[in-house]
Amino acid sequence: MSTATATIHPTPELAPDHIVAAFQSVVTPHISDNLSRMSGITGLKRFHRGKKLVGTAFTVKAKPGDNLFIYKALTMMKPGHVLVVDGAGDTSNALVGELIMLYAIERGCAGFVLDAAIRDSAAFFDADFPCYARSVTHRGPYKNGPGAINVPVNVGGQVVLPGDLVVADEDGIVTFDQPQAPSLLEAVKATQSKEDGIKAEIAAGSSEEGWLRAVLAPAGLA
């Protein structure tokens, strides 16, 4: 559906359950390292306690300060989707709050990622419902549109496509397309193995360690 004020594309297919489960134990720095350290969303704050966020992006491009199309998105999402909102980084008005959060939980939404503000921040903390946003404000939103659903969006400097995988934790948020997931999981395993070896070296207590020399030697500092 597309009009002068609305673009609404179909709901993206969810990532397979085994892929979602596999990324539950993967930290975002390891994903970032294997995406050339150039991908990922920056500048958003975490408003829940600590629950890991893994799910499939359901994108919304909203007019700054306006959440009409978030309402529509909520009725289209399936359990496992992550609401990803491009609100242009505007923090004048909150685009979601406790009522929208409660409805999203009932619908099985995995979490929120918003380049915009929220309100009722204590409710997100108490529920430990994954929520990353630009800021918090008491001022509520308008509901006039225009907007777009399931289009490419820009959130914190990262282009997110509908259907992308979203992984977020205490260090931040990364997104990537679903076909990358299997090879990324293999690369992450190698990263974890390498870091386990470095941890073992550190625990051994030697001051001359291989992981340090690997960095210093090429610069002539070993």
pLDDT band at 165 (very low <50, low <70, confident <90, very high): very high
Over residues 88-97, the pLDDT tens digits come to 999 999 999 9
What per-residue confidence (pLDDT) applies to 4?
57
Is the omega angle on the peptide bond into residue 12 within 30 degrees of 0, that is, cis?
A: no
With a cut of 70, say whether residue 48 has pLDDT above it.
yes
pLDDT band at 205 (very low <50, low <70, confident <90, very high): confident
pLDDT band at 209 (very low <50, low <70, confident <90, very high): confident
Helices 68-76 and 98-106: crossing angle in degrees, nearest 10, is: 10
Q: Which residues have a Cβ under 8 Å from the Cβ of 38 and sit 6 or more positions away? A: none
Burial class (CB in 10 A: 0-12, 13-18, 19+), 71: middle
With a cut of 80, say whether residue 120 has pLDDT above it.
yes
With a cut of 80, say whether residue 3 has pLDDT above it.
no
pLDDT band at 2 (very low <50, low <70, confident <90, very high): low
Q: Which residues have a Cβ under 8 Å from the Cβ of 98 and sit 6 or more positions away? A: 119, 120, 123, 124
What per-residue confidence (pLDDT) applies to 78?
98
Over residues 71-106, the pLDDT tens digits come to 999 999 999 999 999 999 999 999 999 999 999 999
What per-residue confidence (pLDDT) applies to 84?
98
Higher per-residue confidence, 136 vs 210: 136
Cα torsion through 61, 69, 43, 133, rounded to 10: -170
Q: What is the Cα–Cα distance from 18 to 115, expressed in whole angstroms?
A: 29
Mean pLDDT lowest among 12-21, 101-110, 198-207:
198-207
With a cut of 80, say whether residue 1 has pLDDT above it.
no
With a cut of 70, say whether residue 141 has pLDDT above it.
yes
What per-residue confidence (pLDDT) applies to 62?
98
pTM of the model: 0.94
One-letter-per-residue 3-state SS of the chain? CECCCEEECCCCCCCCHHHHHHHCCCCHHHHHHCCCCCCCECCCEECCCCCCEEEEEEEEEECCCECHHHHHHHHHCCCCEEEEEECCCCCCCEEECHHHHHHHHHCCCCEEEEEEEECCHHHHHHHCCCEEEEEECCCCCECCCCEEECCCEEECCEEECCCCEEEEECCEEEEECHHHHHHHHHHHHHHHHHHHHHHHHHHHCCCCCHHHHHHHHHHCCC
With a cut of 70, say whether residue 156 has pLDDT above it.
yes
Q: What is the Cα–Cα distance from 123 to 140, expressed in whole angstroms?
A: 15
